[in-house]
Structure 1
């Protein structure tokens, strides 16, 4: 079964985005995929802000991305774009880090006015990292996701109004993974950081 890395780009301790991403991870685990989760907010801030791709914590993220056949990338929408925290990490990934991988973007926000942030802000950055397979993303209103509490992280609930859409989105990812073989490391050009 393909490996999946879920990545939450929310800076919040009680994050609806992280809750949504972990919910999707549980759905994928239920389908027997090996799923790992990274919350960018848990990485040390100094190497992120200094652009230090050689820092051990950043190297671990690069290795996790390399391990994955697919990524679920979640972000809150701020000012009609993905989070700056997510951008700092994406800037530290090697130029073709996502080559040969399937990527599912997810976003949360307070209004459907921000739904296009996935296609107009996040998708181009993901594509620039080498993937040719960015799936149609999914936007979930904040009010339809319960935030994780620090002591019960991962227990957030997706409301009935959003559950069907999230499930259909996960099904598209599963279909895409079933249709393509796991990414081969040798097929990915270049491992030099894009910074």
Structure 2
């Protein structure tokens, strides 16, 4: 495991340790996650980028309105940590299926209930994004791959795994952005702006 991989694993495990420490102190476990809302977006003039602001949301285990989201976050965190420890590189779809199961329980009125860990992949994707902002790690750094959907076309030359790729000479197509875009080295760019759509 490389130093970078160990740092990623450490950041992920630190989130779990904070929960463990709260429980050992007799405190109700809770997660603080930067709010991913439009009201919490600020312009950073130095980097000329939109960034998340200071607002945070608390996801508490003992709050009935937050208990499911809390469980989903801890479940997803455990799946990601396990994958990192085992050297796996799951897709977001793999993580959705790995965590999807039915929880059976008896409610406060004695009735048997069944509930899914998540109802759709959109829910599990949102939890991954929460873990990204809580740890400051991109999903690519956590070893989570996504289906290649993004394309590049235009006056941009990059190096990928030793190959030089001229994105202005792709014929009728475009260059597919790899699942780990940080591995690309930008050699030359002649653009007034870059438009990114996800």
Sort the TM-score into its range (normalised by shorter chain).
under 0.3
Structure with the higher fraction of residues in strand conformation: 2
So what's the TM-score if we normalise by structure 2?
A: 0.25
The higher relative CO (CA closer than 8 Å, separation ≥ 6) is in: 1
